[in-house]
Amino acid sequence: MEEFGLVISVVYQFGTNAAFLLLCALGLIVILGMMNIINLAHGELMMMGAYTASLSYQAGLPFPVCVAVSFLVVGFVGAVFERLVVRRFYGRELSALVVTWGISLLLSQGTLMVFGPFLPSIPIPGGSLDVGAYSLSVYWLILIAVSIAVVVALAWLYNRTTFGLHARATMQDAAMARALGVNTGRIYMLTFSLGAGLAGFSGALLAPTASIMPFMGQQFVAPAFITVVVGGAANVIAGAVGSSVLLSLVRTPVGFYLGAFLGLVALLLAALIIIRLMPNGVSAALLRWSDRRAQSG
Amino acid sequence: MGMPSIVSTTALDKRFGGIVATQHVDLDIPEGELRCIIGPNGAGKSTLFALLCGIHAPDSGHIFLKDRDITALPSFRRVRLGLGLTFQTNRAFHDLTVRQNLEAPFRLPRGGRSSTSEERYQYALSTFGLDTTSDVPARELPHHRLQWLEIAMVLAGGPEVLLLDEPTAGLSPEETLQTARVLRHLNDDGLTIIVVEHDIAFVREVAERVTVLHQGAIFAEGTVADITAHDDVRRIYLGQA
């Protein structure tokens, strides 16, 4: 029974680590992975999601509704930023990087001025589950399920719907997409808005696990970029899933036996090594592997 | 000619800095015609193409599609009004499968393609040997099939006018002939086609009427026989080809 508890606990740790990376990466999968915009405001969009959740929770809304509100509010903010600012910097990666950095400063300092240094936190919903000597948080189990569900939904949206087809066509060659009648300006706006909304959604979901402060976004930025970059651009969604699994496979055992800090160090080292071995990311390696299999089979 | 014009331009001017790309181009393409626009390098063919499809805006002048002024419309709106475009370099989506490329258009009118458009589309698919259910990524197709895929993609949208920029670039003589046959057939079927082309053999194969551009202006216009017999045209263009 003791060993069973240990196994469950390690699997649970692995699940929470992978879900955390995926949740951090969600919005960035769309904005960096598909639109190729290095969005330095990603963390602040997540922060806005947490703020929206906290404010609407205090207003008496049930937590799941707060999460939905965060998605919509931050998605709307993203659409406004795209229309007014980001749109002017497509294809100019460095300019876009500086501009989104500017937006991030504006958002974090603006939040500090308007709401002060912190907001009341949201209590973690759900209780805990005891397995042998270990206890698992029900809320994290829900987060694991939600992160899987959202990734599946995203893959469905991009692979199975007309919007997804038009979006992928637009990202590959906007002029050709226009030549086939696609309103590419609208696709860009919707895509950026979706990415921002997902960042807000993740921020809201992670809000109960964090302190709600103007600069809270920074803790999510590094994991988000590492997950998406290690995943690679060949297939962003599969890549992000692959990289979060791979990185958690390294982080979990090290963290379990040597402590959380060394677990994080191991994750960063693993990211370095993976990028060294697979410069185009996990998804490119997966693609090559499946091509080879198809050819030999 | 009797037929009303489907695409026309009036006094189309475009300059890039000090360089005159097109000057006072009055084009008039009657419905159902297959028109080739030819000219030596730098004659303004590509600029005219870009103006017609909305990549560039003219400095002055107007463009009409079915009597509607489309000068200020972005290209995707022109496409939705019935213009079909292909570019000089192949622009099929390499990372999408053949099936997805053919599903990608896009300006499908409500209720799908009309029966004429459907026939044209199916004809192109079967003549070009393209499979709408293929899950092969487009990047694995040979060049001529990619070129044909792009034409089929445009036909999938059910256009009333086809505007092609050098559709035979990089094709072998047999593949060029095959492309010419398909375009000829589509035109016989009533589709208006405008081709910007460099390859004079191809032009001889397909065109009814030819517009020759020179230094940004219309230099001559007439049947293929007229044009190839025209001394000045031979001098500026054919002699060099």
**Nearest CB to B91 within list A166, A173, A182:** A173
Q: What angle do CA B235, B240, B241 make, to 5 degrees?
A: 120
Cα separation, A269 vs A266, in Å, equals 5
Check the CA dihedral A173-A150-A78-A99 and report its sign.
Answer: negative
* Closest CA–CA distance from residue B234 to any residue of chain A (Å): 34
**Nearest CB to A181 within list B79, B92, B100:** B79
C-beta atoms of B157 and A184 within 8 A: no
**Nearest CB to A180 within list B55, B94, B106:** B106
**Which chain A residues are within 8 Å of B157, Cβ to Cβ?**
180-181
C-beta atoms of B95 and A172 within 8 A: yes
Say if B53 is an interface residue toward chain A (CB within 8 Å): yes
Residue for token digits 């965060």?
A70
Say if B113 is an interface residue toward chain A (CB within 8 Å): no
> What angle, rounded to 10 degrees, do the helices at A138-160 and A162-172 form?
70
Question: What is the rounded average pLDDT of the residues A56-80?
Answer: 97
Amino acid B1: pLDDT: 47
pLDDT at B108 over 60: no
Cα separation, B208 vs B222, in Å, equals 8
User: If we measure between CA atoms, which residue out of B202, B201, B198, B225 comes closest to residue B213?
Assistant: B198
Residue for token digits 């050709």?
A176
pLDDT 10s digits, A247-280: 999 999 999 889 889 998 999 999 999 989 988 8
Residue for token digits 């989104």?
A100
Which residues fall within 8 angstroms of residue B202, CB to CB, at 6 or more apart?
B168, B176, B179, B180
C-beta atoms of B94 and A183 within 8 A: no
pLDDT at A282 over 50: yes
pLDDT 10s digits, B13-67: 999 988 888 999 999 999 999 999 988 888 888 899 999 988 889 999 999 999 8
**Nearest CB to B104 within list A169, A184, A185:** A169
Say if B104 is an interface residue toward chain A (CB within 8 Å): yes
C-beta atoms of A175 and B95 within 8 A: no
Taking a C-beta distance cutoff of 8 angstroms, is the pair B70, B160 a contact? no
More confident residue, B228 or A85: A85
- Confidence class of residue B241 from pLDDT cuts 50, 70 and 90? very low
**Which strands sit side by side in the sheet containing B34-38, from one edge to the other?**
B83-86, B161-165, B192-196, B34-38, B209-214, B217-223
C-beta atoms of B104 and A172 within 8 A: no
C-beta atoms of A180 and B153 within 8 A: yes
Q: What angle do CA A65, A73, A150 make, to 5 degrees?
A: 60
**Nearest CB to A181 within list B76, B94, B95:** B76
Radius of gyration of chain B (CA): 17
Question: What is the rounded average pLDDT of the residues A143-167?
Answer: 93
* Closest CA–CA distance from residue A90 to any residue of chain B (Å): 17
Say if B135 is an interface residue toward chain A (CB within 8 Å): no
**Nearest CB to B93 within list A172, A178, A183:** A172
Residue ranges of chain A whose CB lies within 8 Å of a chain B CB: 165-166, 168-169, 172-173, 175-185
pLDDT 10s digits, B175-215: 999 999 999 999 999 999 999 988 888 888 888 899 999 88
Taking a C-beta distance cutoff of 8 angstroms, is the pair A169, A180 a contact? yes
pLDDT at A286 over 90: no
**What would the 3-class secondary structure string for B153-210 be?**
HHHHCCCCEEEEECCCCCCCHHHHHHHHHHHHHHHHCCCEEEEECCCHHHHHHHCCEE
CA distances from A249 to A18, A29, A143, A144, A189 (A): 9, 21, 18, 15, 36
Say if B201 is an interface residue toward chain A (CB within 8 Å): no
* Closest CA–CA distance from residue A165 to any residue of chain B (Å): 6
Amino acid A220: pLDDT: 94
Domain map (residue ranges) of chain A: 2-216
Cα separation, A176 vs A145, in Å, equals 38
Question: Which residue is closest to A233 within chain B, CA to CA?
Answer: B95
* Long-range contact pairs involving A154-159 (C-beta distance under 8 Å, separation at least 24): A154/A26, A154/A29, A154/A30, A154/A198, A154/A237, A155/A237, A155/A238, A158/A34, A158/A237
User: If we measure between CA atoms, which residue out of A6, A291, A286, A283 comes closest to residue A131?
Assistant: A6
**Which chain B residues are within 8 Å of A173, Cβ to Cβ?**
91, 93
Say if B56 is an interface residue toward chain A (CB within 8 Å): no
For testing contact with chain B, the best of A176, A183, A188, A235 (most B CBs within 10 A)? A176
Amino acid letter, B188: D
The percent of residues in chain A predicted with pLDDT above 90, rounded, is: 68
Instruction: Label the pairing between strands B5-16 and B60-65.
Output: antiparallel
**Nearest CB to B76 within list A165, A168, A184:** A184
Cα separation, B79 vs B77, in Å, equals 5
- The pLDDT mean for chain A works out to 92
- Report ipTM (2 d.p.): 0.79
* Closest CA–CA distance from residue B232 to any residue of chain A (Å): 35
